[in-house]
């Protein structure tokens, strides 16, 4: 049953072809068997999951059933989960048991979903390879010598290895789309404001957005429908009705205008990934779409802009981890300064420290205008490029990443090359647009992803475009060897 | 050398909202430590701030009351610094774009003159918690009940030229926020706090001197003393050939001195930037209009009306309108008496204020209500009581002995106004003091007072003084 999609499992549960307890036991068994080699989970909720599964079965029996009742899933360990350790991949929060549920966790719990466990991630979501986690790197199920991407690397590896039918993720600069691409999965980052950020441990508040990693666009549509919507506890969430994403999947693509930004196809891109994009476009054309060349002239500014904005916000967001109220606290501090410096020095890893320092620097008196303020201006330019492009096209397509999954340890010494792995992703967060990555083939036997970027709140169109492609292809149905 | 003092004040007024500025926790004062701090106030991972609309309404109310512009769009910013009572490691405040723009207030000085003091801006921000050092051994306690309490920081222009003006301005703002019912104005509990920026310059000089910021001033009295001390200190430094350094100084009310806390070089770089968790605050014109409708009569308007309607001097009217409660008391009194505005004013500013001051009480706590005082004043007006007797009755009323008529009855303090009764007493006194009578009649006018005294003594002060005077004059002359 682990080879089925989430949508299929949901239908089987509803039809009572299988019970949630059976299904949950099956996934827990797979986690027990495969997680040691993958390191995808930080916490496995063996007992809690079974309790929830039985409760879901009781609901199904009563006929009190939603589409997702009894379906298991995993949450990235960045989502606060009541009574459960919520580490954010950091030593700083290794001892932190959240007293409350994030809105996303609460909504999916209310939908009757069964939480299998919390997945590994780059520390505080800062990384593109899952190698900055305090809990160690995650292996890519397609090749254990390679990274699964990051920061939602644990979620991607867990779903790819069929240890969970879906997992949540967060995407600040590609952290859902890039790992989904590198593990052959579907990963959607909704419009900024579409899903509540309440209870998501903040990395960069103006960029963070929750989404899901699934097998298919149909799965993503089901989950996103349950997660999305206004939350009065998040001032940046948008009060706007959530469309029926599932119903929108079947809209024909005829006449869809696809924009192809020339800037996405320069020398940084592995030619074989570029070729896969063009192969995918052939299918879209066959489906009646029309491809137009477009330009995003300020695209080249997105990585530098991102690495000013994101660190600036994180330097402030992470100030609350001071050893005073929760989280890591150093042994016998002699005074306040000692408490701060040792608690934070010991609790944070190297990449987090690098970004806190960068962020503190760009906000400092005398540098603010040159960096932070300038980055706000370039951010506006990047956003305007997209807005202008969407006057002529309905979606923008391109590669999700420049290359397939790279080797463990390959980029850890050079942060800049690591950052460039998200070159096609960062701008989408800076603009606040929705983006989805879907499997579009293999390069060196490793999956690669097609990124589809949509206009604001146009998730339904993205999911539809992804779904129509997935009806024509079977890249998303591939399972890595050893995990069938 | 003549020196001119330049003062600007930053006042923090705690807003009277029921819940905190960014969370649903209660703002009530005095709860056991950390019982009124929710996850948002504690800065837990993942929580987010949601702006309290009531705090915005109060800020707008203040802005309108000082004639300031209300920003259609203002921005919350993070002020970053580490301190144990600052849970998030930053304070949410407003920096470049405050909600309330430029305004002004008029202050009354003791010599009867008035001055206009500019208000640069007022902005919304959250309060921090409290660090507790007493009662702990080797550690400090932290109480986060106050964390997230809404504050309105009111920044004045450097328009004040003396400690007295600074006090008058502070009192004016204090009166205003209480009129508007946006702050309880309690200085002891810290819901109304003041920092003073003080500098001196040579008389006639255009450029401002280097300023010191005085912190921790929690009474009107201390504002005056702290500024006076600081001004003298700065003059001494300059006249001694030194230079005033820009720094933050703490006022120590026990020693009556200011001492250096940190210099400009040591000052924190707060790394302000717009808070990405909060959208820019957008205030529609319709909201401002709606708030404007809720504005009460403000002290200046009330003062003008008191001068017009009651024929009071500017000084009396200003005193009586200093607080809304006092003004209400006065108006209730005048109404209950049925006029006699001047007599009412004299009693409120005289006996009543003296008694309140002596007992360190607020007008709201006065044991003699306006209606009770009216009962007393009526007895003066109908000649039941002399002024002297009335004061005695007032004291008894203050002590809780009942209303004016009951006290008069119980103490037998009714004034004697029956002419024939007074005449009889005078006759007796003339008979008993023949020598004085003949001396008076021989031209020793001073003895008149002696006879008045005798009559008062015989009537225990109850005889109507005017009648006594008239009757004595007639009878003594023979």
Where residue B410 falls among pLDDT bands split at 50, 70, 90? confident
A2 by Cβ neighbours in 10 Å (0-12 / 13-18 / 19+) ranks as middle
Name the DSSP letter for residue A138: P
Contact A88/A125 with Cβ under 8 angstroms? yes
Cα–Cα distance, B186 to B175 (Å, whole number): 11
Q: Does B271 touch chain A (CB under 8 A)?
A: yes
The answer on pLDDT for B30 being more than 90 is no
Interface touch B271/A365, C-beta < 8 Å? yes
Interface touch B82/A102, C-beta < 8 Å? no
A201, closest residue in chain B (CA to CA): B46
Domain finish residue from B392, B411, B430:
B411
- Active site includes A316? no
Average pLDDT, stretch B2-19? 96
The answer on pLDDT for B2 being more than 70 is yes
Q: Are B374 and B310 in a shared domain?
A: yes
pTM of structure: 0.91
Average pLDDT, stretch B168-190? 94
**Chain B residues with beta carbon closer than 8 angstroms to that of A102:** 46
Cα–Cα distance, B444 to A117 (Å, whole number): 112
Reading the block at residue A420, the tokens are: 């460039």
- Which of A87, A90, A175, A302 is flagged as catalytic? A175
Average pLDDT, stretch A290-296? 98
Encode pLDDT of A419-466 as tens digits. 988 999 999 999 999 999 999 999 999 999 999 999 999 999 999 999
Cα–Cα distance, A45 to A82 (Å, whole number): 12
Encode pLDDT of A4-54 as tens digits. 999 999 999 999 999 999 999 999 999 999 999 999 999 999 999 999 999
pLDDT at A83: 98
Q: Does A349 touch chain B (CB under 8 A)?
A: no
- Of B442, B443, B461, the closest CA to residue B452 belongs to B461
- Of A382, A456, A370, the closest CA to residue A423 belongs to A382
- Active site includes A315? no
Where residue B437 falls among pLDDT bands split at 50, 70, 90? confident
Question: Helix (H, G, I), strand (E, B), or coil: what is residue B189?
Answer: coil
Encode pLDDT of A170-197 as tens digits. 999 999 999 999 999 999 999 999 999 9
Q: What is the 3-state secondary structure (H, E, C) of A263-323?
A: HHHCCCCCHHHHHHHHHHHHHHHHCCCEEEEECCCCHHHHHHHHHHHHHHHHHHHHHHCCC
Q: Are B217 and B337 in a shared domain?
A: no
Q: What is the mean pLDDT of chain A?
A: 97
The structure tokens 């309905």 sit at A394
Average pLDDT, stretch A398-402? 97
Q: Pick the range with the lowest mean pLDDT from A54-63, A126-135, B376-385.
A: B376-385
Name the DSSP letter for residue B348: I
Q: Does B330 touch chain A (CB under 8 A)?
A: no
Q: Are B255 and B304 in a shared domain?
A: no
Reading the block at residue B79, the tokens are: 């002020």
pLDDT at A226: 98
Interface touch B82/A198, C-beta < 8 Å? no
Residues 6+ apart with CB under 8 A from B205: B4
Q: Does B45 touch chain A (CB under 8 A)?
A: yes
Q: What is the mean pLDDT of chain B?
A: 92
Reading the block at residue B187, the tokens are: 């200085």
Q: Are B267 and B310 in a shared domain?
A: no
Q: Does B90 touch chain A (CB under 8 A)?
A: yes
For residues B50 and B420, the model is more confident at B50
Q: How many CB atoms lie within 10 A of CB A47?
A: 9
Q: Does A201 touch chain B (CB under 8 A)?
A: yes
Q: Are B125 and B240 in a shared domain?
A: yes
The structure tokens 């007022």 sit at B122
The partner residue sitting opposite A235, judged by closest CB among B51, B90, B271, is B51
Q: Are strands A435-443 and A446-454 parallel, antiparallel or unpaired?
A: antiparallel
Residues of chain A numbered 95-114 and touching chain B (CB < 8 Å): 96, 98-100, 102
Where residue B293 falls among pLDDT bands split at 50, 70, 90? very high
Encode pLDDT of A147-177 as tens digits. 999 999 999 999 999 999 999 999 999 999 9
CB neighbour burial string for B393-413, b if at least 16 within 10 angstroms, e if fewer = bbebbbeeeebbeebbeeeeb
Q: Are B128 and B8 in a shared domain?
A: yes
**Chain A residues with beta carbon closer than 8 angstroms to that of B88:** 319-320
Q: Are strands A395-399 and A290-294 parallel, antiparallel or unpaired?
A: unpaired
For residues A278 and B474, the model is more confident at A278
Interface touch B276/A313, C-beta < 8 Å? yes
Q: Are B96 and B22 in a shared domain?
A: yes
Backbone dihedral region of B70: left (phi > 0), alpha (psi from -120 to 50 degrees) or beta? beta
Interface touch B46/A336, C-beta < 8 Å? no
Where residue B320 falls among pLDDT bands split at 50, 70, 90? very high
Name the DSSP letter for residue A243: P
Domains of chain A by start residue, with CATH: 6-258+391-477 (3.90.1300.10), 300-377 (no CATH)
B121 by Cβ neighbours in 10 Å (0-12 / 13-18 / 19+) ranks as buried
CA distance A129 to chain B (A): 23
Q: How many CB atoms lie within 10 A of CB A331?
A: 7
A207, closest residue in chain B (CA to CA): B276
- Active site includes A175? yes
Question: Helix (H, G, I), strand (E, B), or coil: what is residue B23?
Answer: coil
Encode pLDDT of A245-267 as tens digits. 999 999 999 999 999 999 999 88
Cis peptide bond prior to A444, omega within 30° of 0: no
CA distance A176 to chain B (A): 19
Average pLDDT, stretch B148-166? 97
Which residue, among A202, A203, A204, A232, would best test binding to B if mutated, counting the most B CBs under 10 Å from its CB? A202
Q: Where are the beta strands (DSSP E) in B127-207?
A: 130-132, 141-143, 150-156, 192-202
pLDDT-above-90 percentage for chain B: 67
Backbone dihedral region of B218: left (phi > 0), alpha (psi from -120 to 50 degrees) or beta? alpha
Encode pLDDT of B346-358 as tens digits. 999 999 999 999 9
The answer on pLDDT for B69 being more than 90 is yes
Cα–Cα distance, A24 to A116 (Å, whole number): 8
The CATH number that applies at residue B433 is 1.10.10.410
A353 by Cβ neighbours in 10 Å (0-12 / 13-18 / 19+) ranks as middle
Where residue B418 falls among pLDDT bands split at 50, 70, 90? confident
pLDDT at A51: 98
Cα–Cα distance, A318 to A313 (Å, whole number): 9
Using CA of residue B290, residue B296, residue B299, residue B300, what is the dihedral sign? positive
pLDDT-above-70 percentage for chain A: 100
- Which of A19, A20, A76, A87 is flagged as catalytic? A76
Q: How far is CA B50 from the centre of its chain?
A: 33
**Chain B residues with beta carbon closer than 8 angstroms to that of A233:** 48, 50
CB neighbour burial string for A192-229, b if at least 16 within 10 angstroms, e if fewer = bbbbbbbbbbbbbbbbbbbbbbbbbbbbbbbbbbbbbb
Domain finish residue from B378, B411, B444:
B411
Domain finish residue from B291, B325, B355:
B291
Question: Helix (H, G, I), strand (E, B), or coil: what is residue A361?
Answer: helix
The partner residue sitting opposite A364, judged by closest CB among B39, B48, B271, is B271
Encode pLDDT of A113-123 as tens digits. 999 999 999 99
pLDDT-above-70 percentage for chain B: 99
Interface touch A235/B277, C-beta < 8 Å? yes
Reading the block at residue A232, the tokens are: 């009065």
Which residue, among A87, A121, A317, A373, would best test binding to B if mutated, counting the most B CBs under 10 Å from its CB? A317
CA distance B47 to chain A (A): 6
Which residue, among B43, B46, B281, would best test binding to A if mutated, counting the most A CBs under 10 Å from its CB? B46
pLDDT at B356: 93
The partner residue sitting opposite A319, judged by closest CB among B42, B82, B277, is B82
Using CA of residue A200, residue A204, residue A206, residue A207, what is the dihedral sign? negative
**Chain A residues with beta carbon closer than 8 angstroms to that of B78:** 316
Q: Does B189 touch chain A (CB under 8 A)?
A: no
- State the Cα angle at B403 between B397 and B404, rounded to 5°: 85
Interface touch B46/A200, C-beta < 8 Å? yes
Output the DSSP codes for B307-340. Answer: HHHH---HHHHHHHTSSHHHHHHHHHHHHHHTS-
The answer on pLDDT for B174 being more than 70 is yes
Residue numbers of the domain that contains B380 = 297-411
The partner residue sitting opposite A197, judged by closest CB among B48, B82, B142, is B48
**Chain B residues with beta carbon closer than 8 angstroms to that of A327:** 45
Q: Are B285 and B302 in a shared domain?
A: no
For residues B61 and B313, the model is more confident at B61
Contact B93/B79 with Cβ under 8 angstroms? yes
**Chain B residues with beta carbon closer than 8 angstroms to that of A202:** 45-46, 277
Which residue, among A235, A306, A332, would best test binding to B if mutated, counting the most B CBs under 10 Å from its CB? A235
**Chain A residues with beta carbon closer than 8 angstroms to that of B89:** 316, 318-320, 322
Contact A59/A102 with Cβ under 8 angstroms? no
pLDDT at B1: 65
Counting DSSP H helices and E strands in chain B, the numbers are 16, 15
The answer on pLDDT for B231 being more than 70 is yes
Where residue B477 falls among pLDDT bands split at 50, 70, 90? confident
Q: Are strands B130-132 and B114-126 parallel, antiparallel or unpaired?
A: unpaired
Cα–Cα distance, B421 to B133 (Å, whole number): 73
Average pLDDT, stretch B436-444? 88
pLDDT at B253: 86
Q: Where are the beta strands (DSSP E) in B51-178?
A: 73-74, 76-80, 90-94, 103-108, 114-126, 130-132, 141-143, 150-156
Q: Are B201 and B331 in a shared domain?
A: no
pLDDT at A206: 98
What is each CA distance from B417 to A207, B391, B470, in whole angstroms? 88, 18, 12
Average pLDDT, stretch A302-320? 98
- Which of A87, A128, A129, A151 is flagged as catalytic? A151
What is each CA distance from A265 to A262, A275, A293, A390, B133, in whole angstroms? 6, 10, 11, 19, 62
Reading the block at residue B39, the tokens are: 């996850």
Give me the number of domains chain B comprises. 3
Cα–Cα distance, A246 to A220 (Å, whole number): 9
Contact A140/A147 with Cβ under 8 angstroms? yes
- Of B388, B347, B390, B395, the closest CA to residue B370 belongs to B347
Cα–Cα distance, A207 to A227 (Å, whole number): 18
Q: Are B382 and B437 in a shared domain?
A: no
**End-to-end alpha-carbon separation of chain A, Å?**
10
Q: Are B12 and B144 in a shared domain?
A: yes
Interface touch A198/B46, C-beta < 8 Å? yes
Q: Are B356 and B439 in a shared domain?
A: no
**Chain A residues with beta carbon closer than 8 angstroms to that of B47:** 198-199
ipTM of the prediction: 0.96
């Amino acid at each position: 049953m682990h080879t089925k999609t989430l949508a299929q499992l949901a239908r089987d549960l509803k039809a009572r072809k299988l019970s949630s307890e059976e299904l949950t036991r099956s996934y827990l068994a797979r986690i027990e068997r495969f997680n040691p080699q993958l390191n995808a989970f930080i916490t496995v909720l063996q007992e809690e999951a079974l309790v929830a599964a039985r409760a879901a079965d009781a609901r199904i029996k009563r006929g009190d059933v939603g589409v997702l009742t009894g379906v298991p899933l995993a949450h990235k360990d960045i989502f606060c989960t009541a009574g459960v350790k919520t580490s954010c991949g950091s030593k700083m929060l290794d001892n932190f048991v959240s007293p409350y549920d994030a809105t996303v966790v609460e909504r999916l719990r209310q939908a009757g979903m069964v939480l299998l466990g919390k997945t590994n991630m780059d520390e505080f979501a800062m990384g593109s390879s899952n190698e900055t986690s305090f809990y160690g790197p995650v292996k890519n199920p397609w090749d254990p010598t390679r990274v699964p991407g990051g920061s939602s690397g644990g979620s991607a590896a867990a779903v790819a290895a069929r240890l969970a039918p879906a997992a949540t993720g967060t995407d600040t600069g590609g952290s859902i789309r890039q790992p989904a691409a590198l593990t052959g999965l579907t990963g959607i980052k909704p419009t900024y404001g579409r899903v509540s950020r309440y209870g998501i441990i903040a990395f960069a508040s103006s960029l963070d957005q929750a989404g899901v990693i699934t097998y298919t666009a149909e799965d993503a549509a089901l989950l996103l429908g349950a997660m999305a919507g206004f939350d009065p506890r998040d001032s940046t969430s948008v009060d706007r009705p959530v469309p029926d994403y599932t119903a929108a999947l079947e809209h024909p693509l005829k006449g869809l205008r696809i924009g192809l930004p020339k800037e996405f196809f320069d020398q940084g891109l592995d030619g074989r990934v570029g070729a896969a994009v063009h192969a995918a476009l052939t299918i879209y054309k066959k489906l009646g779409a029309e491809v137009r060349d477009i330009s995003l002239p300020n695209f080249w500014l997105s990585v530098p802009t991102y690495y000013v904005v994101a660190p600036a916000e994180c330097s402030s967001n992470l100030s609350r981890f001071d050893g005073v109220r929760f989280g890591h606290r150093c042994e016998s501090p002699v005074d306040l300064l000692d408490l701060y410096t040792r608690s934070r020095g010991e609790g944070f890893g190297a990449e987090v420290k690098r970004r806190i320092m960068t962020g503190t620097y760009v906000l400092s008196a005398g540098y603010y205008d040159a960096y932070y303020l300038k980055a706000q201006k370039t951010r506006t330019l990047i956003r305007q490029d997209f807005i202008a492009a969407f006057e002529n096209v309905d979606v923008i397509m391109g590669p999700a990443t420049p290359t397939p999954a790279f080797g463990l340890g390959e980029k850890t010494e050079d942060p800049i090359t690591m950052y460039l792995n998200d070159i096609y992703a960062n701008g989408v967060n800076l603009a606040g647009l929705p983006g989805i990555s879907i499997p579009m083939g293999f390069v060196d036997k490793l999956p690669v992803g097609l990124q589809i970027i949509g206009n604001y709140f146009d998730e339904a169109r993205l999911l539809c475009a992804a779904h129509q492609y997935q009806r024509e292809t079977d890249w998303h149905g591939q399972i890595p060897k050893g995990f069938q | 050398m003549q020196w001119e003092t330049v003062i600007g004040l930053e006042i923090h007024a705690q807003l009277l909202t029921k819940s905190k500025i960014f969370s649903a926790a209660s703002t009530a004062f005095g709860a056991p430590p950390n019982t009124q701090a929710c996850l948002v106030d504690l800065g837990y991972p993942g929580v987010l701030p949601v702006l309290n609309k009531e705090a915005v309404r109060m800020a707008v109310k203040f802005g309108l009351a000082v004639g300031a512009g209300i920003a259609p769009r203002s921005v919350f910013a993070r002020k970053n610094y580490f301190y144990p009572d600052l849970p998030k490691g930053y304070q949410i405040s407003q920096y470049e774009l405050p909600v309330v723009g430029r305004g002004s207030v008029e202050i009354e000085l003791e010599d009867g003159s008035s001055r206009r003091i500019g208000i640069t801006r007022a902005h919304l921000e959250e309060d921090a918690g409290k660090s507790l050092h007493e009662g702990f051994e080797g550690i400090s306690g932290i109480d986060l009940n106050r964390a997230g309490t809404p504050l309105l920081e009111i920044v004045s222009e450097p328009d004040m030229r003396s400690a007295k003006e600074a006090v008058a301005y502070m009192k004016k703002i204090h009166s205003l926020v209480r009129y508007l019912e946006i702050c309880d104005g309690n200085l002891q509990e810290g819901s109304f706090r003041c920092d003073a920026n003080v500098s001196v310059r040579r008389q006639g000089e255009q450029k401002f001197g280097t300023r010191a910021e005085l912190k921790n001033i929690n009474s009107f009295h201390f504002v005056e003393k702290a500024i006076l001390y600081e001004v003298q200190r700065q003059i001494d430094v300059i006249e001694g050939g030194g230079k005033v350094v820009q720094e933050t100084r703490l006022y120590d009310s026990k020693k009556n001195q200011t001492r250096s806390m940190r210099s400009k070089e040591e000052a924190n770089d707060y790394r302000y930037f717009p808070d990405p968790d909060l959208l820019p605050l957008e205030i529609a014109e319709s909201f401002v209009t709606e708030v404007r409708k809720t504005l009460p009569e403000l002290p200046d308007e009330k003062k003008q009306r008191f001068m017009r309607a009651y024929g009071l001097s500017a000084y009396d009217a200003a005193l009586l309108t200093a607080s809304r409660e006092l003004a209400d008391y006065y108006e209730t009194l005048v109404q209950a008496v049925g006029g006699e505005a001047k007599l009412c004013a004299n009693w409120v500013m005289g006996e009543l204020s003296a008694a309140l001051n002596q007992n360190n009480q607020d007008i709201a706590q006065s044991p003699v209500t306006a209606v009770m005082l009216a009962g007393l004043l009526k007895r003066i007006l109908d000649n039941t009581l002399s002024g002297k007797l009335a004061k005695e009755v007032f004291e008894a009323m203050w002590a809780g002995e009942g209303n004016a008529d009951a006290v008069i009855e119980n103490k037998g303090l009714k004034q004697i106004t029956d002419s024939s009764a007074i005449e009889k007493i005078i006759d007796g006194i003339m008979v008993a003091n023949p020598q004085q009578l003949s001396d008076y009649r021989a031209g020793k006018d001073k003895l008149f007072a002696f006879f008045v005294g005798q009559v008062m003594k015989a009537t225990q002060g109850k005889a109507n003084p005017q009648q006594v005077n008239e009757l004595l004059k007639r009878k003594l002359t023979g």
